[in-house]
Amino acid sequence: MKPSDYEVLLNRHPKNPILTAADWPYPVHAVFNPGATTLKDGTTLLLCRVEDRRGISHLCAARSKNGVDGWEIDPEPTFVSDPHNYPDELWGIEDPRITYVYELEEYLIAYTAFGKAGPGVAIASTKDFKTFERFGLVMQADDKDAALFPRQFNGEFALIHRPSNDSGAHMWLSFSPDLHNWGGHVIMLPAHRGAWWDANKIGLSPPPIETDRGWLVMYHGVRHHASGSLYRVGLALFDKDNPEICLLRGQPWIFGPEAQYEVTGDVSHVVFPTGYTVGADGDTINIYYGAADTSICLATGSISQMLDWLDRNGTEGISTQEPVPIA
Ligand code: BMA
């Protein structure tokens, strides 16, 4: 390692991109930003965001024994918007994040519903990724980048989400006794200000990762510059029993667009992780991400190495700066 080399936490799979529009069993424009989970029989399931050739997104399941190749993709869209009954889904559904909730013994999917008011957060549940029950819109527009925790806190479900409002675009936490009624809204992690890679606009990446030391949270930061937006990924750790408490926040980003399939595409310079699976050793983590809003990629890391990196590269506390409105 040269002195100038930085520590690599996520290693890109040599077969990237592992899924593209060309793999689909029906005509689509792009596939990206997949939710991910491991089914009971060990199969990796990706619930992919699929943008059709009108620009409207739906979700489609792809299953693989090894999580890398041999994908079996549903022959038709798996979960589509229902604008007749849910007008908030008029222009499609996007960016699903899957959480297996132990108390319910089912999967909850938090996704972006795109309607006339803008993007909002909706929830659906499923046991088999074949039939789905909708809870409808739970966070009004403008809000996205949401996922549920797999456990309850003091008898309540908890949702991470990212409203954009006069106070900025920060990560928030909300709580609910029944998944329908939400309250107790608090800022979980504010965007930095100024020149930081995660200044002004941040959002959750995959759902929170449960570790012995607390909730490991990957989040994206959006740097706006003259030629567009640059999406990179950072790390933070939150208290196991009270996820409002940020224990450590990494200073540098850990993963950014570098490969050709990340720097060119429909939206260049975007890496956008939305799902993960954990290997049988309990430490290997497979991160599934959208590359340039065009394809689906895989990068692999180690949870213990990420925690160790946070010890060396993180600062304590929620933020060194107060959030301010975005100009
Ligand atoms: C975000 C979301 C993602 C998208 C990203 C980059 O706001 O809409 O779906 O991947 O922008 O375009």
Domain ranges of the chain: 17-315
| pLDDT per residue as tens digits for the range 79-115 | 999 999 999 999 999 999 999 999 999 999 999 999 9
Ligand 1 atom with the smallest distance to the CA of 266 is 12
**What is the CATH code of the structural domain delimited by 17-315?**
2.115.10.20
74 lines ligand 1 (CB under 6 A): no
Nearest Cα to Cα of residue 91 among 110, 113, 106: 113
Is the CB of residue 238 less than 8 Å from the CB of residue 215?
yes
Give the strands of the sheet with 72-73, arranged side by side.
30-38, 44-51, 57-64, 72-73
- Share of residues in the chain with pLDDT > 90 (%): 94
| Model confidence band, residue 167 (pLDDT cutoffs 50, 70, 90) | confident
Strand partners, 99: 108
Ligand 1 atom with the smallest distance to the CA of 94 is 9
| Model confidence band, residue 327 (pLDDT cutoffs 50, 70, 90) | very low
Is the CB of residue 149 less than 8 Å from the CB of residue 243?
yes
Average pLDDT estimate for 277-282: 98
| pLDDT per residue as tens digits for the range 8-48 | 999 999 999 999 999 999 999 999 999 999 999 999 999 99
262 lines ligand 1 (CB under 6 A): no
| pLDDT per residue as tens digits for the range 63-86 | 999 999 999 999 999 999 999 999
| pLDDT per residue as tens digits for the range 113-146 | 999 999 999 999 999 999 999 999 999 999 999 9
Q: Give the residue, by CA position, lying nearest to ligand 1 atom 10.
A: 293
293 lines ligand 1 (CB under 6 A): yes
Q: Which pLDDT belongs to residue 289?
A: 99
Residue 277, pLDDT > 50, answer: yes
Ligand 1 atom with the smallest distance to the CA of 267 is 12
Cβ-defined contacts of 40-49 (< 8 Å, 24+): 44/277, 44/286, 45/98, 45/129, 46/19, 46/71, 46/275, 46/288, 46/296, 47/78, 47/79, 47/96, 47/98, 47/109, 47/129, 47/275, 48/19, 48/296, 49/94, 49/95, 49/96, 49/274, 49/290
